[in-house]
Structure 1
Amino acid sequence: MRLPLLALLARGSAHGYELKQDLEQLLGSAYPQPNVGQIYVTLGRLEKSGLIEGEAIEQSSRPNKKVYHLTDSGREELRGWYEKPSDEPRVRDEFFVKLILAPQTGLADQVALINRQRRQYLNTMRSMSKLAAAEVRENRIAQLLIEGAMLHLQADLDWLERCQEELEELR
């Protein structure tokens, strides 16, 4: 949440609720919607660390609102984020650990685990398909997010198939 908020503030000053709305509008309903309280807590932490500064703006008929802007340190932090590649492939996969430890515990069957996980991925894929159909076609960013998630799910399904084939060969 930190760095996306910094990126939004790089466009110009904004208050917390505006930032929440910007994230929702940009990413659509496929992306987990941020809680406005979480945004304000994050903004407070960013301000404490000197990456943003807040300024109270008086409003005649409402309480004052705090508007934030990016500092030079925040801009540098953001540059570093853009320059650093995203995480490497996940190798600490909880499902894989379950799958490997199942025979040692005797509490779960590996094929049953694979099938359960496959059903989960397929259900998630169906949900994503419905979400893609419901998402406004005009929000191409949200469409890309959904497409990426579905491609990851397909890769996960292919990998499950590979795991099952390997287990069958070992038996």
Structure 2
Amino acid sequence: MRMPLLALLARGPAHGYELKQALEKLLGAAYPSPNIGQIYVTLGRLEKARLIEGQDVVQANRPNKRIYRLTPAGDEAVAGWFEELTDEPRVRDEVFMKLVLAPEPGRQVALINKQRRHYLNAMRDLSRIAAAEDPDNRFAHLLIEGAMLHLQADLDWLERCQEEME
């Protein structure tokens, strides 16, 4: 949550609710929306780390709000984040460990079938979310498409495992 909030603040100053709304708008319904408490806790930690600074803004008929902006250290952190490579290939896979360590072949096949049903249900859920998503929100659709492609690859891999075990 730290880096996405910093990246949003690189676009300009904002308060916590604006950041939450920006994440929801960008990522759509498929991405689990962080709760506002999590956002404010993270903003507090970022402020303590001197990556952002907050300024209280007085409002007439509402509670004061705190507007956050990046510090130079925050700018550097965001720039560094965009340069970092992400995730290595998934070699440590829990499903694979269960398959390898299952006590008998029947247990392996049952595990594959159960996992396959789980992935298919997840794909069905993502399809429903995609159909309900704003068609103009290309980032949300790309996120859903990426998740679907990962699930399809996992299904193909399960099929390969089953072939190898038979």
Report the TM-score when normalising by structure 1.
Answer: 0.94
TM-align CA RMSD: 1.3
Following TM superposition, the consecutive aligned residue runs of length 4 or more in structure 1 with deviations greater than 3 angstroms are: none
Q: Which residue of 1 aligns with 2:121?
A: 123
Shift of 1:62: 1.2
Number of matched pairs: 166
CA distance in 2, matches of 1:147, 1:131: 11
CA distance in 2, matches of 1:81, 1:161: 36
Q: Which residue of 2 aligns with 1:111?
A: 109
Instruction: Give the share of equivalent positions with the same residue, in percent.
Output: 72
**Over residues 11-70 of structure 1, what are the superposed CA-to-partner deviations in whole Å (9 max), with x where a residue is unaligned?**
111000100000001111011111000000000111111110011111111111111000
In structure 1, runs of 5+ residues without a counterpart are none
Q: Which residue of 2 aligns with 1:13?
A: 13
Shift of 1:136: 1.3
1:109 aligned counterpart, secondary structure: helix
Deviates more, 1:94-103 or 1:14-23: 94-103
Shift of 1:89: 1.6
Amino acid aligned to 1:162: R
2:92 aligned counterpart, secondary structure: coil
In structure 2, runs of 5+ residues without a counterpart are none
Q: Does 1:75 align with 2:75?
A: yes
**Over residues 76-121 of structure 1, what are the superposed CA-to-partner deviations in whole Å (9 max), with x where a residue is unaligned?**
1111110011111222211111111112xx6x70000000000000
Q: Does 1:94 align with 2:87?
A: no
CA distance in 1, matches of 2:43, 2:97: 36
